[in-house]
Chain A
Amino acid sequence: MKLKLKIWRQKNSNDKGKIVSYDIENISPDMSFLEMMDVLNEQLTSDGVDPVAFDHDCREGICGSCSMFINGEAHGPDRLVTTCQLHMRKFKDGDTIHIEPFRANSFPVIKDLVVDRSSFDRIQHAGGYISINTSGNTQDANAIPIEKNSADKAFDAATCIGCGACVATCKNSSAMLFVSAKVSQFSLLPQGKVEANDRVLNMVKQMDEEGFGNCTNTGACEVECPKGISLENIARMNRDFLKAKISS
């Protein structure tokens, strides 16, 4: 395949940045999108040009590192996949592909396609955990009976890899899908219910402080989420938040 790539290039967080065009040839349809980027970077390096910086790690769709906005969509045109699992067969020979970083004030660009998603870490630190005394008297989790429906929903929520596609794709840069998944994965389970009120209040407070936009229920986040996290989690977080506010 022969492609024209229009890629966002930005030297650092202070640089204004711009779209730069590159022509690339001999791309196999079986390559992953990141492999195509590797080929481009080889080409740029051999030409003495600074390679395009982009996040990647596992390349198996489970780490949440890769974060490109491809042809106007987070993780590109395919559904339920991260950029590393997107394959070039989704494009046609001669296509022009626009590649930009995930954009939100809360995800500032570090370089080229690499953005700082530490705002997600700070939200997690605000309450995305269960406090357990590990001094030797911890109860075996398997000894606690859990209704299957709740266990399934908690597990579904826990599949969120925190990639930030929800924020990137939302027209309001809202982080509600991410935060609601992290709240739900605990609040549905008996171990998580103990701290449920504080958790939802603190995580939502941190989310608001990070400057994410407000959710307007467009549903774009659910469509673009590589793990198919459901909007049901947002509804659950809304009612958990209201309950916690009233009872606190």
Chain B
Amino acid sequence: MSNVIQASIIKKIAMAVSGLFLIIFLFQHFVINITSVFSESIFNQFSHFMGSNFVVQFIAQPILIFGVIFHFVMGFVLDFQNRSSRKIKYVKYKGSSNASWMSRNMIISGAVVLSFLILHFYDFWIPEMNYKYVEFLPDDPNRYYDELSHKFEDLVKVVLYVISFGFLSLHLLHGFSSAFQSMGINNKYNYLVKTFTIVYAIGIPLGFSFIAIFHYLNH
């Protein structure tokens, strides 16, 4: 079993699968959040369901947290291994001549996204866990919209969020289509995958930025 995990291709496939899992989660997260722009009550209903449903809270959430931790830890481990495979560096190395900035700097965009996640957890997830499982405060299905709106009163925070979404976009621009290549999918549908990658990688972070700016301006 340890041989299977140590194989470089298995590590690649594991990164790809966990990445695609997070991409699907991101879409679901976006769909719920965008409702806050149109309807306070729909956003509250969705959020209350996600925050109180047993399957979401005690099965999906731990899987998601495992997926996030796995993707980041594996990413850093692989980056360390990759850097170690060339101990003596080139004096002159022209990486931009044959590969995109995004593909060469996934560790940088990934590290920014990780920093953002820490901030995001501090803003939303930790208070939510504290509300439900530490202080055991009474169930209030209408509190979610106000909590969200309150978080985006601070311009500095909105700017930090928007910058982070920019790096998320850069990460996705390479990561999405790259995941398919890692899983062995490189065929006549490549054009579709690459087109969808661009649409998703720009559209979703742009949408998240819009939500943050909307709530800031809505005060």
Binding site for B on A (CB under 8 A): 6, 8, 19, 69, 71-73, 77, 98, 100, 103-106, 169, 171-174, 176, 204-205, 207-208, 211-220, 223-224, 231-232, 234-242, 245
Contact = CB atoms under 8 A, between A and B. Distances in A.
Given A100-B91, A100-B92, A238 B9 contact: yes
Interface of B: 4, 6-13, 78, 81-95, 97-100, 103-104, 106, 174, 178, 181-187
B86 A173 contact: yes
A208 B6 contact: yes
Nearest to A233: B186
B98 A172 contact: no
12 contacts: A19-B91, A69-B90, A72-B90, A104-B86, A171-B104, A213-B86, A214-B8, A215-B12, A216-B103, A223-B99, A234-B186, A239-B185
Q: Which 6 A-B pairs have the closest CB atoms?
A: A239-B184, A72-B94, A235-B186, A213-B85, A172-B82, A223-B98
Contacts of B9: 204, 237-238, 241-242
Contacts of B12: 214-215, 238
B173 to A, nearest CB: 12
Contacts of B6: 208
Nearest to A200: B9
Contacts of A77: 97
Given A72-B90, A72-B97, A242 B184 contact: yes
Nearest to A102: B90
Given A218-B104, A242-B9, A234 B181 contact: yes
Contact of B99 (A218, A235, A245): A218
A103 B86 contact: yes
B193 to A, nearest CB: 11
Given A19-B91, A72-B90, A215 B8 contact: yes
B176 to A, nearest CB: 11
A234 B185 CA distance: 10
Contacts of B183: 238-239
B81 A213 contact: yes
A171 B81 CA distance: 12
Contact of B86 (A105, A234, A237): A105
A182 to B, nearest CB: 15
B181 A235 contact: yes
A239 B4 CA distance: 14
B175 to A, nearest CB: 9
A172 B85 contact: yes
Contact of B182 (A6, A217, A240): A217
B54 to A, nearest CB: 34
